[in-house]
Amino acid sequence: MPKHEMSDPNNFALYGAICGIKLPQPETEIAHGLILRETYAHVMSPYLVALSPITPMGIHGGPWKSVSGGIAFDAYAEIALAQYARPYDFDRLNTIWFILALLRLRHSVGIRVPVISNIAFQEIALVEEEPVFWPIEMASKGFCYDRYQKGENVSKEVLDWIARHSVHVSRLLTEHPHLLNAFRAYDGSHSASSINTAKMLLWSAVEALFRPGDRDIRKTLSKLIATFLHVPSPSRDSCFSKVSSLYQVRGQIAHAAEQANGRMLWETAQIVRECFVKVFEDGIVPDRQELLDQWKTGT
């Protein structure tokens, strides 16, 4: 195979090492040609220092010395995408992102695929062929702000939910670009460099989802979210107050550089997560005017 084809993930079956979860059973089919299964891989990225200038050959000569630290991940699960399989309305690499994003939505943000291989990880030591690896989510770990609540063990219920909804969710995302942008912003919060950045990404996601307009955003967004999530009830009123309070903190972060705390981040994430889960389960993108009318009439 020519060198340029060796670097193209569309030419291979793909196997993503999933860190941050343990599966409830050895193997689960998510869609045609796509399965989640148990495996093991330790992904390492040590730091090195080269002490000689670069040579005409384009490399640094010795000596090389190791630096303490580095990044390492333990993967106990693998996402396997069969060659040429395309179960969703995404390219093959984004198919793997999509399933990981759904796992992060339904279970924990502390899930990542640091590397993808063209050979199943449990087979690499058994074959003579050299694997091709693509680094994907190799950045330092972000804020796993919900890990303490759920741990690493993913329930069968979560996997069944993904298998049941993933096809129509992929179609919904590709048919509504603003929804895809919103979901990508939500998913980006897992790799944020600070609590403030994570919270701003979450609010960017919910603003892209509901599109509240340019005036009185806090009040409008609070109405939209409360009406979307709840029927007329004390729960709707309570949600309105909670969203309004949390969005006010968002403004203080954006305009006065104040520091959010982890509890506020978690509360915000829970509301945003609930919105996306409802959108995906109902298969309906929120309509701003319809929700505002419902709030006004108390329906």
The string of pLDDT tens digits covering residues 103-158 is 999 998 889 999 999 999 999 999 999 999 999 988 766 566 665 556 789 999 99
Please indicate, yes or no, whether residues 146 and 263 belong to a single structural domain of this protein. no
Q: Given 154, 186, 216, which residue is the final one in a domain?
A: 154
In a domain, 159, yes or no: no
Q: Is 131 exposed, middle or buried (0-12, 13-18, 19+ CB in 10 A)?
A: middle
Read off the tokens for 201: 């990404």
Please indicate, yes or no, whether residues 37 and 128 belong to a single structural domain of this protein. yes
Please indicate, yes or no, whether residues 147 and 180 belong to a single structural domain of this protein. no
In a domain, 186, yes or no: yes
Please indicate, yes or no, whether residues 19 and 115 belong to a single structural domain of this protein. yes
- Average pLDDT of every residue of the chain: 90
In a domain, 270, yes or no: yes
Please indicate, yes or no, whether residues 180 and 278 belong to a single structural domain of this protein. yes
Please indicate, yes or no, whether residues 189 and 275 belong to a single structural domain of this protein. yes
Please indicate, yes or no, whether residues 208 and 111 belong to a single structural domain of this protein. no
Range of the domain at 233: 176-297
Q: Which residues are registered as beta bridge partners of 133?
A: 117
Q: Given 121, 154, 187, which residue is the final one in a domain?
A: 154
User: What pLDDT does residue 56 have?
Assistant: 84
Q: How many whole angstroms separate alpha carbon 181 and alpha carbon 186? A: 9
In a domain, 80, yes or no: yes
CA atoms within 13 A on the CB side of 31: 21
Domain count, the chain: 2
In a domain, 165, yes or no: no
Residues in the chain predicted with pLDDT less than 70, given as ranges, are 1-7, 140-150, 251-261
In a domain, 107, yes or no: yes
User: What pLDDT does residue 149 have?
Assistant: 56
Please indicate, yes or no, whether residues 247 and 187 belong to a single structural domain of this protein. yes
User: What pLDDT does residue 60 have?
Assistant: 87
What tens digit of pLDDT does each residue of 249-280 get?
Answer: 876 666 555 666 678 888 999 999 999 999 99
Q: How many whole angstroms separate alpha carbon 59 and alpha carbon 38? A: 38
User: What pLDDT does residue 144 have?
Assistant: 67
Please indicate, yes or no, whether residues 114 and 198 belong to a single structural domain of this protein. no
User: What pLDDT does residue 4 have?
Assistant: 45
Which strand (E) or helix (H) includes residue 245? helix 234-256
Please indicate, yes or no, whether residues 120 and 191 belong to a single structural domain of this protein. no
In a domain, 5, yes or no: no
Give the angle 156-162-167 at the CA atoms, nearest 5°: 150
Please indicate, yes or no, whether residues 145 and 181 belong to a single structural domain of this protein. no
Please indicate, yes or no, whether residues 139 and 191 belong to a single structural domain of this protein. no
DSSP annotation of 54: B
In a domain, 275, yes or no: yes
